[in-house]
Amino acid sequence: MNSFLAAFALLTILPIRRELDFSARAYSFFPLVGAALGAVLVFSFLVSRLFFPPPVTAALLVALWALLTGALHLDGVSDACDALFAPTTRERRLEILRDVHIGAFGATGLFVILLLKFAALNEINLAAIFLAPVLARWAMVYAAAYPLARREGMAALFAKALSRREITLATIVAFACTIPFGWFGVSAWIAAMLVATLLSRFAMTRLGGLTGDVYGMICEVVEVSVLLVGALVHH
């Protein structure tokens, strides 16, 4: 139970941060935290649609999504975009990741992520809304198997104790959440794995490894990818 609560404490704003011992076991529950977020988002979507037109509902859901997660991964998007796309050296990119200011690449990346989420949520696909946070949080555990760009920071805390056991358990949980949705679930998982792999390899070439901000970017881009798959199927 302690590891389960620790996963929620790390990934959401829920007030459960009581003397938790954050161990590697908590990573096994990341997709389950995503499932809880997905359930809340689906319920909120259905309620909002009773009172508001699709664009307003989409905007409210994007805002709620950011609120529930403390915009943690959106912050990672802006930092990672500034560092990964800057035409400079690896050392300078790592310095940019520590900079609290947002640059042109970061602002653009953040805008594109939020715009795509808003656009995709105008298409009704409840399965995609549920699966997006599940597969995104599984993708972070999957990406943690890649080498680190540096040995300190959130990424080091996240990856240093991670083993095949936690990755396997997280994959089983994500599979259990995905398989009821049939071919759409399989398509969404393929999209999530492809995106996580490509972004991880891109970070390897630019930074020599992954960082906490890269994990955040992977989470957000996977969420958008699953939503776009859902929008494509619905359309």
Residue 22 lies in a domain: no
Output the pLDDT for position 124: 79
Residue 20 lies in a domain: no
Residue 65 lies in a domain: yes
Residue 109 lies in a domain: yes
Q: Among residues 46, 36, 45, 39, which one has the least CA distance to residue 13? A: 36
Output the pLDDT for position 18: 53
Residue 21 lies in a domain: no
Output the pLDDT for position 62: 96
pLDDT at position 87 over 90: no
Q: What is the mean pLDDT of the chain?
A: 88
What pTM did the predictor assign?
0.93
Residue 151 lies in a domain: yes
The model's pLDDT over 157-193, given as tens digits with 9 standing for 90+, comes to 667 767 788 889 999 999 999 999 999 999 999 999 9
Residue 161 lies in a domain: yes
Give the number of domains in the chain: 1
DSSP structure string for the chain: -HHHHHHHHHHS--S--SS----GGGGGGHHHHHHHHHHHHHHHHHHHHTTS-HHHHHHHHHHHHHHHTTTHHHHHHHHHHHHHSSSS-HHHHHHHHH--S--HHHHHHHHHHHHHHHHHHTS--HHHHHHHHHHHHHHHHHHTTSPBS-SSSHHHHHHTT--HHHHHHHHHHHHHHHGGGHHHHHHHHHHHHHHHHHHHHHHHHHHSSB-HHHHHHHHHHHHHHHHHHHHHHH-
The parent domain of residue 107 ranges over 2-15+28-234
The model's pLDDT over 124-157, given as tens digits with 9 standing for 90+, comes to 789 999 999 999 999 999 998 888 887 776 666 6
Residue 185 lies in a domain: yes
